[in-house]
């Protein structure tokens, strides 16, 4: 069984938050920029803890950042 790609709105949220760079988001989330790049591209599904941290940075609920495909 393959995991479906979890969609996310990180790119749009970054731009809504003063064109936040991937580096800035990575620093605040406590991960590397490569990980943010991979998450944005849907190539890596973050842990629940990291997903919550990213949602908290953007001050939104987790389901406003990540979307499980129907």
Q: How far apart are CA 59 and CA 70, in angstroms?
A: 25
Q: What Å distances lie between residue 20 and 1, 5, 23, 68, 70, CA to CA?
A: 36, 24, 8, 24, 29
The answer to whether 35 contacts other proteins (rule: CB under 8 A) is yes
Q: Say if residues 22 and 40 touch (Cβ distance below 8 Å).
A: yes
Which among 1-9, 30-38, 58-66 is the span making contact with other proteins, rule CB under 8 A? 30-38
| Rounded CA Rg of the chain | 11
For other proteins, the closer of residues 39 and 58 by Cβ is 39
From candidates 4, 5, 16, 23, binder to other proteins by CB under 8 A: 23
Kindly state the smallest distance separating residue 63's Cβ from other proteins, in Å.
21
- Sites of contact with other proteins (CB under 8 A): 21-23, 26-27, 30-35, 37-38, 40-41, 43-44, 46-47, 50
């Amino acid at each position: 069984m393959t995991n479906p790609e979890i969609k996310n709105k990180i790119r749009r949220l970054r731009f809504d938050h003063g064109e936040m760079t991937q580096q800035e988001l990575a620093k605040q989330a406590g991960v590397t920029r490569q990980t943010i790049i991979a998450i944005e591209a849907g190539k890596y599904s973050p842990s629940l803890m990291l997903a919550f941290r990213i949602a908290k940075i953007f001050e939104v609920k987790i389901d406003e950042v990540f979307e499980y495909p129907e």
